[in-house]
């Protein structure tokens, strides 16, 4: 009887250690969720390697599996509450979400090989460079690069029929990060 009691105590101790190991992120990783192309959500721990090689490293919550995902293999990733979507192999930080999304480019996948079986296909990625801002129309999947030179043109075409949003975009005086407010106005008016 005493042996059974010691055995049960030992098993509970091992279980508690295993639960603690599952909740602590490995060094360099943060809690996150990967969304695969088929829509499956994988909770676990993510290491951001977007800037260096347009990938993320994923470890399951149990620590049993480790895999590198490129932007062409997943639709999105969330790292400690910060969402990134993947378009043409590139990662974009979501700054504002709705019918129109305001995004900031986080990777450069141009020239990166994507494999179709044994055949390597080189990705063109998306235009622009990391830190550039974009407006993404989630309905028609259209991505528009914002620059100081084209902000009025992009705002007029993206916010067509929403004069408040267009006026807000025009008042940004070259600070493209403020376009987020114009996108929020457009999304609120479009509801």
Class of 22-139 per CATH? mainly beta
Task: Give how far the C-alpha of residue 13 lies from the chain's centroid of Cα atoms, to the nearest Å.
Answer: 38
In the three-class reduction of DSSP (H, G, I as helix; E, B as strand; rest coil), residue 50 is classed as helix
pLDDT in tens, 92-102: 999 999 999 99
In the three-class reduction of DSSP (H, G, I as helix; E, B as strand; rest coil), residue 69 is classed as strand
pLDDT in tens, 68-124: 999 989 999 999 999 999 999 999 999 999 999 999 999 998 876 665 666 766 666
> What was the pLDDT predicted at 64?
83
pLDDT in tens, 124-176: 678 999 999 999 999 999 999 999 999 999 999 999 999 999 999 999 888 99
pLDDT band for position 15 (cuts 50, 70, 90): very low
- The reported pTM is 0.83
Q: How far is CA 62 from CA 14, 43, 51, 128, in A?
A: 14, 10, 27, 38
Q: Where are the domains of the chain?
A: 22-139, 146-191
């Amino acid at each position: 009887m005493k042996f059974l009691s010691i055995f049960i105590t030992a098993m509970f101790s091992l279980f508690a250690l295993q639960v603690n190991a599952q909740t602590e992120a490995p060094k360099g990783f943060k809690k996150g969720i990967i969304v695969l192309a088929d829509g499956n959500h994988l909770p676990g721990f993510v290491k951001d390697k977007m800037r260096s090689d347009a990938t993320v490293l994923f470890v399951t919550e149990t620590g049993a599996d480790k895999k590198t995902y490129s932007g062409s293999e997943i639709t999105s990733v969330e790292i400690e509450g910060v969402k990134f979507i993947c378009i043409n192999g590139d990662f974009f930080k979501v700054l504002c979400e709705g019918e129109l999304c305001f995004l900031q480019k986080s990777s450069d996948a141009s020239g990166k090989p994507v494999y179709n079986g044994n055949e390597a296909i080189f990705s063109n990625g998306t235009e622009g460079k990391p830190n550039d801002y974009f407006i993404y129309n989630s309905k028609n999947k259209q991505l528009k690069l914002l620059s100081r030179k084209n902000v009025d043109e992009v705002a007029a075409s993206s916010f067509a029929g929403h004069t408040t949003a267009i006026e807000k975009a025009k008042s940004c005086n070259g600070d493209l990060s403020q376009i987020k407010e114009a996108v929020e106005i457009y999304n609120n008016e479009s509801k």
